[in-house]
Amino acid sequence: MADDVRIKYPRRVVLRFFMRLVGRVLVSLLTRTTVIGRENFPRSGPLIVVGNHVAIVEVMLMVLYTPWQIEVVGTGDIPIDPRFGWLARLWGFLPVRRGSVDREEMRLPVDVLKQNGIVGIFPEGGIWENSLRKARTGVAWLSYHANAPVLPIGFGGMRGALRQVLQLKRPRLIMNVGQVMPPVNVRVEGLSRKEALEQGANAIMARVSELIPPEEKRSWAAIEDERFDFKLVLQRPSISTNGAVEENELTVQEAAALGKFFHRPVILDVMARNMRLPVRPLQQVGIEHDAQRIAEAIEVAIKFLDDNPQFLSYRFGYDEAGRMRAGVEELRALVKEAAKNGDWVTLKPIRRYRRAGSDREIVEVVPGVMHEM
């Protein structure tokens, strides 16, 4: 074992042994969990275990039902949801700032793999959509640099599972273990290093997709023709009519990007729940607010985006992130002007889409739940 590694593997052996023991007992009592493909577990590492990610439950299953003490790669750019953060800290995870171009922080999982250890990672980069998303290249980079094979796992029944557990409904969960994939190769004829890493990441996610139960995929009900809009309505007491209220709808140039910002509610949820920032007024759309109160919440949100420049770009790409950021700044200017005039404002983000196979357009004016516990 190299002497210059930053982290020794395994670690917290006794604590993790008892956590896994207690966790398995609780999961067996509170859920109906089926693990398929146990014969595909290799005897030892180095190994990267990957899976689809829509809730917190699949992280628990990966830790509990694989035959090793896994080092889980988790978010290092924002605090973990405080509802589960204590558990993650007790287990101990490897923090990585998602979206960072500094690969030095990837030394931790590389060090684990070089000690023939096991690393768990969810290549989609967080819970931002209700269906399977494109994998980030970090998993391919890690596999290549550590020369580590990859074990794909497809999880089913995760969405809403923890809520059902709390209601004593014993949800049916599936953990489908695939066959080990060889380490990612970046020396692919006709491809640049970046393209080869993207190809490797996509191949890993494709294998994970194959392992997700069909009924899980059917529940995604693919979204088609998704479009966004945003309306800002001012309410001003009329000076000419006693008790009357004048309404004025302002034009927002970045209405589409701003509508998407609000209809990806996990963005503001991270600020409110994980970071404990006072952005609650921005989550209360469709309701009249004192413009000054909205302006203050927007300032907090923009300060967060300033302090975390990769937060949006990592999840939505640089172009979309730039438009979202421009939309939030435009909203700030409009609301600050409204506050000077003593106006009240109503935020109205709009989402339009169709379900696959249907011609009926669905219109949402209140952001839904991006993921369930």
- 147-163 pLDDT, tens per residue? 999 999 999 888 788 88
Q: Do 174 and 237 belong to one domain? A: no
| Domain membership flag for residue 5 | no
Contact call for residues 371 and 127 (beta carbons, < 8 A): yes
| Domain membership flag for residue 372 | no
Peptide bond into 82 cis (omega under 30): no
Its sign, for the CA torsion 17, 23, 28, 31, is negative
Domain boundary among 219, 246, 274: 219
| Domain membership flag for residue 3 | no
* Residue 196 pLDDT greater than 80, yes or no: yes
Q: Do 204 and 286 belong to one domain? A: no
pLDDT confidence tier of residue 125, bands split at 50, 70 and 90:
low
pLDDT for the residue numbered 56:
81
Total domains present in the chain: 2
Q: Do 251 and 148 belong to one domain? A: no
Domain boundary among 219, 247, 265: 219
Q: Quote the domain boundaries for residue 145.
A: 13-219
| Domain membership flag for residue 353 | yes
Tell me the sheet residues that pair with 32. Answer: 172
Domain boundary among 159, 193, 219: 219
Task: State the Cα torsion 304-306-307-311 to the nearest 10°.
Answer: 70
Contact call for residues 211 and 176 (beta carbons, < 8 A): yes
Indicate the pTM of the whole model. 0.79
| Domain membership flag for residue 264 | yes
DSSP state of 206: H
Tens of pLDDT, residue by residue over 84-111, are: 778 888 898 888 766 554 466 678 899 9
Q: Do 85 and 69 belong to one domain? A: yes
Tens of pLDDT, residue by residue over 27-49, are: 999 999 999 999 999 999 899 99
* Residue 232 pLDDT greater than 90, yes or no: yes
